[in-house]
Amino acid sequence: MSQAAIEDYLMLPITCDKMHLSFHNKRSFLRKIDALPDGPRWICEQWEIQGDTIGEDGEMKTKEIELWRRDPVECIHELIGNPSSVTVFTDF
């Protein structure tokens, strides 16, 4: 979504009147995003997947894709170590 489209969306009457957002323009929206915690780092893995069609060389066609993920253990450490989540987790 372009920055102009974000601004246009925020100016729509239905957005202004019905959504009760905590920001009113693109600048305050982007400030909210910048204030979010970083969290665990993203990891990008390149994978080659095989399709179900045969190419001109007689071999199955393949395609490279990107898999973006985070380490789940790092995510749990982040959740447990975050003071704002203390009231969310309880002992069983």
Average pLDDT estimate for 40-64: 95
What pTM value is reported for the model?
Answer: 0.50
Beta bridge partners of 67: 45
CA distance linking residue 27 with residue 17, whole number of Å:
19
| Alpha helix stretches (DSSP H) within the chain | 3-11, 13-18, 26-35, 72-81
Among 26-30, 56-60, 74-78, 80-84, the minimum mean pLDDT is found in 80-84
The 10s digit of each residue's pLDDT in 16-32 is 888 888 888 889 988 99
Average pLDDT estimate for 39-62: 94
Q: Regarding predicted confidence, which is higher, 8 or 37?
A: 8
pLDDT tier at 56, thresholds 50, 70, 90: very high
| Region for 29 from its dihedrals, namely left if φ exceeds 0, alpha if ψ lies in -120 to 50, beta otherwise | alpha
